[in-house]
Amino acid sequence: MMKPTIIAIAGPSASGKTLFAQTIHDELVDELGENGISILYEDAYYRDQSHLTMAEREQTNYDHPDAFEHQLLNKHLSSLVNNETINSPVYCYKTHTRTNETREFTPTKIILVEGILLLSNIELRDRFDIKVYMDTPLDICLIRRIKRDLIERSRSVESVTNQYLETVRPMYYQFIEPSKAWADIVITRGGKNRMAIEVLKAKIRQLSKLPPQH
Ligand SMILES: Nc1ncnc2c1ncn2[C@@H]1O[C@H](COP(=O)(O)OP(=O)(O)O)[C@@H](O)[C@H]1O
Ligand SMILES: Nc1ccn([C@@H]2O[C@H](COP(=O)(O)O)[C@@H](O)[C@H]2O)c(=O)n1
């Protein structure tokens, strides 16, 4: 099999990274066939915190690079580029730690990697063939995050807004926003930007036919 092409989709929390990646995946998966396209999540690489109490886990700054095991993600990306299967961790936002399960992840021609801090880490950055940044305004992200976290991550409005003020917003300005400078493509208006989806799909179709130039 040809060497996988790795595409990073970075940007602030609730900017539409997951929706954008999932839409591209779902619209291309049949066309690209078996081993065509898959999504890997940076969030899966949040550190295991099973040794901590729930109260301690709630104090973690989840928007600082130290919250992630980026070294393991980097190692896994290296394996995938060499066409080796990995076992990605599986993370639970409700318990703030990894589950006992892992996800067997077989390399595909195109691998979309999605996460807030992918472009802030130099080793990871070097792994990506295309770097995309979702440039959704922070107030829109906050509204979407409140709605999503209440439904999908078992949070209260108070916990989301406290976390936003204490860590999410400051870490955005310290790490995420500056990482936009490394992006090849900056996408406005979030995960439903149809033209951006079509442009990336066209590039992916082209890359799926050609061996990538590494
Ligand atoms: N352009 C958009 N319009 C309306 N809702 C959106 C848009 N983009 C994303 N969302 C919604 O906002 C929430 C956060 O988006 P998500 O893709 O999970 O963001 P991220 O992966 O960047 O954290 C989700 O509920 C998603 O469906
Ligand atoms: N236990 C956790 C782990 C992470 N978060 C927040 O998730 C955000 C990143 O995921 P997105 O899908 O929103 O990009 C990040 O901003 C963390 O604050 C959390 O709340 N709890």
Q: Would you kindly state where each structural domain of the chain is located, as residue ranges?
A: 5-206
Q: How far apart are CA 143 and CA 148, in angstroms?
A: 9
pLDDT at 10 exceeding the cut of 90: yes
Q: What CA–CA distances, in Å, run from 70 to 6, 31, 65, 99, 183?
A: 16, 32, 8, 18, 19
CATH number belonging to domain 5-206: 3.40.50.300
Residue 87 phi, psi dihedral angles, 5° rounding: -115, 100
Neighbours of 167 (CB within 10 A): 17
* 69 C-alpha to ligand 1 centroid (Å): 25
* Confidence tier at 9 by pLDDT (50, 70, 90): very high
ipTM: 0.98
Confidence grade of residue 103 (pLDDT, cut at 50, 70, 90): very high
Q: Which residues contact 13 (CB under 8 A, 6 or more apart)?
A: 63, 116, 141, 145, 168, 172
Rounded mean pLDDT, 189-198: 95
Say yes or no to pLDDT of 190 above 80. Answer: yes
Of all ligands present, the nearest one to the C-alpha of 18 is 1
140 CA from centroid of ligand 1 (Å): 10
Considering every ligand atom, which ligand is closest to the CA of 193?
1
Over 70: is that where the pLDDT of 213 sits? no
Atom of ligand 1 nearest to the CA of 22: 17
Quick one: pLDDT band at residue 2, thresholds 50, 70, 90? Answer: confident
d(CA 163, CA 51) in angstroms, rounded, equals: 22
* Global pTM value: 0.96
Tell me: the pLDDT tens digits for 18-41? 999 999 999 999 999 989 999 999
Question: Residue 127 Cα, ligand 1 centroid: separation in angstroms?
Answer: 26
Provide the β-strand partners of residue 102: 89
How many angstroms separate the first and last alpha carbons of the chain?
Answer: 15
Ligand 2 site: residues with CB under 6 angstroms?
13-14, 17-18, 43, 46, 62-63, 93, 96, 116, 168
Nearest one of 85, 140, 114, 80 to 200, comparing CA atoms: 114
